[in-house]
Chains A and B, each alone.
Chain A
Amino acid sequence: MPQIDLYKIFSEFDSGQIASIIYGNQLIEDNFPIDDPYTGAWGISTKTISIPACYRNTAFVNQEEETSTTDLPENQDPITQTTLLKREEDQVQELIFRIKRSKSICYREGLANRLLSLFNDAKEEDPDCLGIAAKSLRNFNNFLHLNTNLKCPTISLTPDYNIYASWKGEQGRVFSLHFLPNEDVRFVIFKPNDRHPERKIRVSGIATTDVLMETVMSYRIEEWISE
């Protein structure tokens, strides 16, 4: 199997093209971790690199079992609410595991543990709930890989189990992102109004994840949420 340097490949694209790759190819979306070889352009079957595994629902994400139960034919039972929920939970735990392994996220370990803690909090509150909405988490994961220079946000869950990420700064600065399951992000910005110190500028909007930081560039968010 050829060795592929993903960082070298991505350095030849601009951020818009990378976003296009991410959103334009389900193959990549399902095998995205930026640390793994990108096989899509070479047409190599992803089946050869898929690692079916199940992860325990514990406070730590590095407890991997050696065998898979999810892909065995005897487990392909009729689709029921429980089965769908289990599949979504498996996706969530796999995504959290990818975040934990992702070398491009410098706070990956702490972030993965926080996500798993939130998942457990949600399950403790309602054992029949999603825990975390898998598509929202995938959207968040894509955002992190497109913006690798940001400080670790505070993460919480919305009532619909979507990821809500928030950065808070001096003078009441707020930058909060609600990661929707459809690749959109709703954002909120609070920042000081330099001409009227007693007032704040408050803005909200919606954008796709790939253009979000360009969209809010004029508010100079990156000056205070970047490492």
Chain B
Amino acid sequence: MKGDQIPDPDHIARLCQPKHVPDGQIQASAFMLKSDEEGLSVNWLEFLECSSRDHEIAKIRNVYSLKFNRIGARATIAVINVGEVRERVLTESEDRRNLEVLHDPKEDGPPDPSHSEIYNLTQDDELIAELILETVHEAYPARH
């Protein structure tokens, strides 16, 4: 339901476009906000109720292929544990930032029921982007 906090044991996926993935390595720039964004777009994997990570990723790829005109060949899906990223940023950021990861399903345009957002980021959060990057332990190609 919109606005629900995603539980700490759950996982979120972030689409990292090729401009954030030089040489196949995801960079912190993938976790920075555009100047007109309030939150960082992610997808809540457990919401999809799949039996395995592979099935979750397959579903997310389908969503991306409907939402975006083009997914570059080097685009990558980064998977992050909600509790780990919140804890890392809370304990290691200079201002002890408390990130909120909230469910925000999208129904206008291509349906994206697992869409969620990470809030409490600002445009000058390079340090927090680097902290988020440290919590990425799984990555998958974004294309089928």
New contact pairs (16) apart from A164-B27, A202-B127, CB-CB < 8 Å: A121-B18, A121-B74, A124-B72, A125-B17, A156-B20, A156-B21, A157-B29, A158-B32, A159-B29, A159-B33, A166-B28, A172-B134, A176-B28, A190-B130, A202-B92, A202-B93
Evaluate contact between B27 and A154: CB separation under 8 angstroms. Answer: yes
| A155 within 8 Å of B (CB atoms) | yes
Evaluate contact between B94 and A164: CB separation under 8 angstroms. Answer: no
- Shortest C-beta distance, B36 to chain A (Å), equals 10
Give 1 or 0 for each of B21-44: 1 = CB within 8 Å of chain A CB.
111010111101111010000000
Residues of A within 8 A of B70 (CB): 124-125
Evaluate contact between A124 and B18: CB separation under 8 angstroms. Answer: yes
With A121-B74, A176-B126 as contacts: A158 and B29 at CB distance below 8 Å: yes
- Please list the residues of chain A having a beta carbon within 8 angstroms of any beta carbon in chain B: 114, 117-118, 121-122, 124-125, 154-160, 164, 166, 172, 174, 176, 178, 186-188, 190, 200, 202, 204
* Cα-based distance from A125 to B19 in the complex (angstroms): 9
* Cα-based distance from A122 to B127 in the complex (angstroms): 23
| B124 within 8 Å of A (CB atoms) | yes
A sample of 25 cross-chain residue pairs with beta-carbon separation below 8 angstroms, ordered by A number, consists of A117-B22, A118-B22, A121-B72, A122-B19, A124-B70, A124-B72, A125-B19, A125-B72, A154-B25, A155-B22, A156-B29, A157-B20, A157-B29, A158-B32, A159-B32, A159-B33, A159-B34, A160-B35, A164-B27, A164-B126, A187-B126, A202-B93, A202-B94, A202-B131, A204-B126
When C-beta atoms are compared, the residue in chain A nearest to B20 turns out to be A156
- Shortest C-beta distance, B81 to chain A (Å), equals 18
- Shortest C-beta distance, A66 to chain B (Å), equals 31
